[in-house]
Structure 1
Amino acid sequence: MTHLLLVEDDEVIRDSVQAVLVRYGYRVSAAADGLTGLELFRDEHPDLLLLDVMLPDLDGIGLCRRIRETSVVPILMMSARGDGLDVVSGLEAGADDYVIKPVESAVLLARIRALLRRTGLPQQRPRTGEARRPGGSNAGVLTFGDVEIEPEAMEVRRAGQTVALTPTELRLLLEFAANPGIVLERRVLLHNVWEHAWDGDSRVVDLHVQRLRAKIGAEHIQTVRGFGYKLRR
């Protein structure tokens, strides 16, 4: 049974969200503050976290940062504000996705399922001849400059050193690697990586590209102004 950790200080929201998740077959642990949520995370090792932004003791942004110090577990942030401040802060802290409260149960469940699918990444391959494939025992390795990607092992190395990517960051990189040199629009990335319909909000894409650049080198992903991004061949 998939184990979720819900950290939400509003008792009504916490109980209602937990009831929905349990009804759909998830095992759910719940906490009302950030420090308790951190303890539960360390003790129970859940498969996915749902974090409210405004929490007592340790807010959701701080909690997300603490978790990202040691784990790449999928994190879905829940914000009561739609002005973007919480959204940007959560994504910059390491969250994979976000929803604005109040959120319909069907939307929340869809976002959770999409994140969980991301932890079991599909095997993606670049088009024939687009990526260099070293021979010998490394025949399955995709090489872009000093970056090496092993899709089957879900491993990425830069200059020979392993790079720790979240499932979303890895899926984003694989999407670029499957289309080297091709400009990918933000709406295409939202659909293929996050499984979102285009809703005019590209911040989730832009901030994940920013995080990916910081880990593999900014020179590998080029911004094509007004269109999107592409992986340099």
Structure 2
Amino acid sequence: MASSMLPPRTAQIRLVSSHKEVYEPDDDSFALVDALLADRSNLLEHRPALCMEIGCGSGYVITSLALMLEQEGLDAFYIATDINPYALSVTHQTLEAHGVHAELINTNIAQGLENRLSGLVDVIVVNPPYVPTPEDEVGAEGITSSWAGGENGRSVIDRILPVADHLLSEKGWLYLVTLTANNPSEICLLMREKGYASRIVIQRSTEEESLHIIKFWRDFETKEDEEKKKAMADKSASTGIMEYLLGQLPQLPFWRSSDSNNY
């Protein structure tokens, strides 16, 4: 039977490793993988060569993505980062248990990778720390770093967005988990200003939270439209200033020397 006829493979929870200082797969992790499954036909057509997870935690998501693509014979390269060194150890074990591989890097978001990966990543998946918390909890050691998002849960998300913009290839896609408290519509507007279109792939409510998995992709028409609007606004502003300045000039009669040699 052809692989496309088989149910898509994802990581098995019983094979996902764990550690007391590492965030285990939960509703947000499952929603992100479900979003990838919902967009699977597009992903297969997309044929990504380089995939990346920022904040890999247990490795459930990057492993699921790798299994999903490799099932269809797509030979992509995978990179996963996490600020928590325990998470990288757990992710390694999870990947190994499923027979897939990724390069694992202990770093904050993608620090140190900006030059190496600039404009090369075709798919980025992120389940960021999005829970509203005091700012001093952001980036804390251990498991706290996996959920502490600072004011409105946006501190880490707002640092991730420009990094993703820098790393994504021209055809690159970003899948991002957000909470209603994060103001997803504002996030989409910020990305639109960078030239990205967006859509909610999955929206899911639990007893504790309302999740949105948003997909972003470069929309060159959108970027051109934004640049044209900005240029027109700048021109309009400049014209207005010039009209104002001209209006301040004294109304002098037109004068020309009768001596043609007198310039």
- Which one scores higher on RCO, CA 8 angstroms, separation ≥ 6? 2
**TM-score when normalising by structure 2:** 0.29
| Structure whose alpha-carbon radius of gyration is higher | 2
